[in-house]
A = this chain, B = another copy of it.
Amino acid sequence: MTIGIGLLGLGTVGAGVAEILTSPGGRHPLVAELELRRIAVRDPNRPRPVALPPELLSTDPEEVVNDPSVEIVVEVMGGLEPARSLILAAIAAGKSVVTANKAVIARHGEEIADAAARQGVYVLIEAAVGGGIPIIEPLKQSLGGNRIQRVSGIINGTTNYILSRMTDEGAAYTEVLAEAQKLGYAEADPAADVGGHDAADKIAILAGLAYGGSVERSLIPTVGISDLQARDVSYASQLGYRVKLLAVAQHLGTAADGSECLDVRVHPTLVPSDHPLAVVNGVNNAILVEGDPVGRVMFYGPGAGAGPTASAVVADILNIAGIRQMGGTGGGLDPLLAASRWRRCSLVETSRTSHRNYVRLQTSDQAGVIGRIGSCFGHEDVSIQSIVQLEASGGQAEIVVITHEVEEARFQAALAAIQALSGVQSVAACLRTL
């Protein structure tokens, strides 16, 4: 039974999908049942890496959505609009949708999921997080027996590439960014990546799946890597850590009103060198899921690129096609694959969350400074793992403190007191630590 596929977009990912669908040999036999029937492109005359019958191409995406021979609509055009409207139009036409569009899902996921549930169709998003890494389906279909405690990931390849090179070469951020742009690992406008916003989109999606409830994307505290200094990357290495841009969604408990309290955030983080995430380098991504009773499982692989992303898109198409092949399904949806929301989730205010911290202070090189800093932390009940004077010259010194886990409000109170100390010039850097 052949299944008709419509593509919205034929850029690098779209072409990668077309490449798989038009060369089924050696792949799962179900791939041979998928037939590309209509493809929306901006410019039909542009040369493409994959040969397709020209009559499949259209400049009108509505034609793809409304083509009665198209049963599954694949949105790989990117951007918020018209992607969102076309996804909703496809759902309204009773079609299941596969999309790689993390920005749309992170911002309009609830609207889209509600529409899909009403129409009894699937919206699958494996390619939206982690490129080719199977993470969405495993979270939905393989870890449902668990109480998920934490999802933490390196889910932006551009920043991981930059941080890996800063660590290996001791290079400065701006220098590595310029080279990453030259090599095509960073975009001309890198703001979404280096600002952490892409990672925030993705952790919003992962949190929704792990905890069964939407989190408000705009409320996720997000710190990128553009202010990160080579000096802190180097000090972290000396202390046995690697700096990674982590996106984290952590379960803190259940509120009196029954909603799940989550700490969801994106920030550069010191990761102990022997931690599984510490060895994830270059443009690779990895997502660590911690749950009861599974313990820690990690998913690792290429976080971007035409081939990996196309692999994830085709996985979703196959999942929908597999259900079609069963020959009618009593009208219902598979609740694992549909991944409806079944809980309310709310983000806990940052001041009430707890973390370990790395702090770099610029001080005068005087006896007693370390003691006074220690006392400020002690006064706020902030327990210290290590306090080290790392450089001293010309009467100036740099002191690095790593704390144990502490509530953010108490940590900030201690920092304020330290900043007011005579002998302390500034809090030069402050990073979270795993």
Contact = CB atoms under 8 A, between A and B. Distances in A.
A98 to B, nearest CB: 12
B325 A335 contact: yes
Contacts of A336: 28, 30, 318-319, 322
A54 interface: no
B318 A293 contact: no
Contact of A296 (B301, B332, B342): B301
Interface stretch (A56-64, A220-228, A309-317): A309-317
Given A279-B279, A293-B311, A297-B300, A332 B325 contact: yes
A308 interface: yes
Contacts of A279: 276, 279
Nearest to A1: B332
A337 interface: yes
Interface string A263-287: 0000000000000100100000000
Given A141-B137, A302-B296, A302-B297, A311 B335 contact: no
A297 B334 contact: no
Given A138-B137, A302-B297, A318 B27 contact: no
A261 interface: no
A331 interface: yes
* Copies of this protein chain in the complex: 2
A291 B329 CA distance: 32
A132 B330 contact: no
Interface size class of A (residues with CB under 8 A): 35 or more
Nearest to A138: B134
B315 A144 contact: yes
Contacts of A143: 134, 311, 315
A132 B325 contact: no
A30 B26 CA distance: 35
Contacts of A291: 311
A294 B132 contact: yes
Contact of A294 (B138, B212, B296, B308): B308
Contacts of A301: 294-298
A333 B326 contact: yes
Given A27-B145, A332-B325, A302 B311 contact: no
A16 interface: yes
Contacts of A27: 144-147
B137 A314 contact: no
Q: Which has the most chain B C-beta neighbours within 10 Å: A302, A313, A323?
A: A323
Contacts of A20: 145, 293
Contacts of A142: 126, 134, 137-138, 312, 315
19 contacts: A20-B293, A27-B145, A28-B212, A132-B297, A138-B138, A141-B319, A144-B314, A145-B315, A145-B318, A146-B311, A291-B311, A293-B308, A294-B312, A298-B298, A298-B301, A300-B300, A322-B337, A328-B328, A328-B330
**3 pairs of A and B residues whose beta carbons are closest in the complex:** A293-B307, A327-B330, A145-B314
